[in-house]
Structure 1
Amino acid sequence: MAFEADAWLAAVVGDCDDAIVSKTLDGVIRTWNGGAERLFGYSANECIGKPITLLFPEERLSEEDDILGRLRSGQRIDHFETVRRRKDGKDVHVSVTVSPVRNEAGVIVGASKIARNIGDQKEAGVQQSLLLREMNHRIKNLFSLTAALVALSARGTTGGEALAADLAARLRALARAHELTMPDLSAGDSAENSTTLRALLEAILAPHDDSTGSRITIGGCDAPLSGSALTSVALLLHELATNAAKHGALALADGRLSVELAMQDDRLTMTWAETNARSPKRKERREGFGSTLERAALTGIGATLTRSWRSDGLTIDFAVPLQRLVSVIS
């Protein structure tokens, strides 16, 4: 029965998805299961007899001294989250549990170590944090934009009914623009979403124009937008419009915005020119979450964006490969 139990245990350990390793108190690997091979990429023959620090990034080497010290005192280490290095050089986030191994006399002679890949959990946590930060960023911007739209409606209307009607129209346009920045959520499969760049610009900028339509002008060519590229471009344009409404030309009664689209070889360019815009108090822009969103959007479509301040306002030059505007970025 004892032999049968040992065989069962060996089979369970061998087939376990977690890495299960034993080592001496000197940190030398004694056993190495199939889960360890799958997680770290090394075979048992490559690891047995080698120091466990084979798996440690250089900046994590001090962890082993602490682990061995605690083991010698009989301590068990539960769910210690750290980073280890695979055979292919890639780092992997793991949760490690280390227990002392005793001989028949009760003397600690080594340790068993169980390591579980928590990379997906870590990535999910990062994505959740990013989404929460984006939600907070959007909500704060929404309050600022609403205040700006109230002021804009008040300048262009007389009487309570006219003001209410104008403001309601602007808020509906703002809601539509907001939907366009999140097509994956509003319309299902991103591959099915499509529009054109001019249509997207008109929708996003509509809440900020005046009753005559002369405050904002959009000129030049047009280009189709679809898939994940639509999300990236919508996020970027929404961020530019928000900044203009909060701090730039669209925050001022005499501010003007001109957007010009053009084709240059295999690239589409956009010149975003704000006139009578507020100049920044400091030469460098303060980095915030909006900057993080902007960089992510640009990276997603392989685009570039530069800002330059003129004496009478701001010019933003944007360029993107045409083929990236209709591709689905995974």
Structure 2
Amino acid sequence: MYDPKFDAGLWLSSVVDNSGDAILSKTLDGVITSWNAGAEKLFGFSASEAIGQPITLIIPEDRLHEEAEIIGKLRAGERVDRFETVRRRSDGEPVHIEVTISPVRNAEGEIIGASKIARDIGERLRHAEDQRLLVREMHHRIKNLLSIVQGLVSVGRRRADDVDDFADNLSSRIIALGAAQQLVLGLPGEERSGAALSELIGAVLEPYRDEGQITVAQCDAPVGAGASTSLALLMHELATNAVKYGALSNSDGLLQVDISMTQGNVTIAWRECGGTFDNGDQGFGTELMRAAMRGLGGTIEQAWRDGERVVTICLARDHLTR
């Protein structure tokens, strides 16, 4: 039931004053005539500081042309709806807003000013930018992944003895890549900035640890998402050769991975004892090994010393963290 004591103007004034949005009004000459608490919060000026001042108080110099265009539309009786722009806070910092501007008329219907409702959209824009960067990164990673798989297929096809051999080798390489990527990037919802070098090597070698023939030195040098793919392929190829011809081809062999660091470099010494190494050169001659080293920006050497096969990999630490 209608209450005759109800004051619509007081009610409306209370709604405006308590709105979370910035609500203000101005004359057609651009002088601020009202300024609610939401405007104080958004722009940093108190009502006493803003009222009576030109609206250019909150307009950056490079946006002054917008005010002329807005006034022109208001004089024509047009409403400016959901206009995204940038305004200036009291501390000089820009604030991204979405604003709706409506003409204000007097009792005779003449347009005498404008009311504005502004909302901070900075968080929304930051979220949209994050999404854009995420999609771009996803496209980049998918492109790289497809390129890697294409390379694995091409290399594996030339080296495989039959279809089953090809399928097994390709599958094991993809599993090794997956283990390394999960370690570096984490599972969905996890926040990881990388993995330690010894962790990544251990993850790739994990399928071969059943007989306790493998030891990996501890090293906390960080490995970035970019380097992890090349390093995982390299470690997997070395492990595959060890299983076929080297230390892991028999129960008496031993594989030891030593890691040393200097200020600018990381050296990985892959040591195998107890293998035959009949086809070691063939393994190191593969395009896959060369591509992995190109991706890591390092050097690789192999030698046989007193029945021990030593593969020395030298990597720049700044390449490793990429």
Aligned equivalent of 1:17: 20
Residues 1:183 and 2:186 aligned together: yes
Does the 8 Å CA contact 2:85/2:96 hold for their aligned counterparts? yes
1:198-228: per-residue Cα shift (whole Å, max 9, x none)? 322565799xxxxxxxxxxxx9971176xxx
Moved more, 30-39 or 140-149: 140-149
Checking the alignment, whether the CA contact within 8 Å between 2:101 and 2:116 is kept in structure 1 is yes
1:96 paired to 2:99: yes
Matching residue's letter, 1:43: S
- Equivalent of residue 126 in structure 1, options 129, 132, 136: 129
RMSD between superposed Cα atoms in Å: 3.9
**Alpha carbons of 1:319 and 1:5: their partners in 2 closer, same or farther (altered >3 Å)?**
same
- How far the C-alpha of 1:147 sits from its partner, in A, is 1.0
Q: How many residue pairs end up in the alignment? A: 250
Q: What SS class does the counterpart of residue 61 from structure 1 fall into?
A: helix
CA distance in 2, matches of 1:243, 1:90: 48
2:102 match: secondary structure: strand
Distance 2:194 2:316 in 1: 24
Structure 2 equivalent of residue 255 of structure 1: none
Q: Alignment partner of 2:164: what SS?
A: helix
Q: Which structure 1 segments of 5+ residues have no match?
A: 207-218, 226-232, 245-258, 281-304, 309-314, 325-330
Shift of residue 155 of structure 1? 3.8
SS at match of 1:190: coil
1:139 CA displacement: 1.8
Distance 2:170 2:176 in 1: 10
CA drift at 1:159? 1.9
Q: How does 1:204-219 map to 2 (within 5 A)?
A: none
| Pair 1:237-2:222 in alignment | no
Separation in structure 2 between the aligned mates of residue 27 and residue 205 of structure 1, nearest angstrom: 71
What TM-score do the two structures reach when normalised by structure 1? 0.64
Change in Cα spacing, 1:132 to 1:37, as seen in structure 2 (3 Å) is same
CA distance in 2, matches of 1:96, 1:184: 40
Give matches, 1:141-220, under 5 Å: 141-185=144-188, 188-190=189-191, 196-200=196-200, 203=203
- Which whole-Å CA distance do the structure 2 matches of 1:174 and 1:194 have between them? 15
Task: Provide the identity percentage.
Answer: 44
1:83 is displaced (CA, Å) by 1.0
- CA–CA separation in structure 2 for the residues paired with 1:19 and 1:269: 56
Change (3 A) 1:316 1:196: closer
Cα distance, 1:179–1:224 mapped onto 2, change above 3 Å? same
Q: Which residue of 1 aligns with 2:89?
A: 86
Question: Larger radius of gyration, structure 1 or 2?
Answer: 2
5+ residue gaps in structure 2?
207-215, 235-257, 269-287, 299-313
* 1:30–1:57 Cα change, 3 Å: same
What is the distance in 1 between the residues matched to 2:88 and 2:146?
Answer: 46
* 1:128 Cα offset (Å): 1.4
Q: Equivalent residue of 2:101, what SS? A: strand
Offset, 1:49: 1.0
Letter in 2 for 1:57: P
Cα pair 1:22 1:32 within 8 Å, conserved: yes
The aligned residue for residue 222 of structure 1 is 219
Q: Which residue of 1 aligns with 2:307?
A: none
The amino acid across from 2:191 in the alignment is S
Residues 19-53 of structure 1 deviation map (CA, whole Å, 9 limit, x = unaligned): 00100101111100000001111101111111111
8 A Cα contact 2:176 2:233, kept in partner: no
Alpha-carbon distance in 1 for matches of 2:59, 2:226:
40
1:45 alignment partner in structure 2: 48
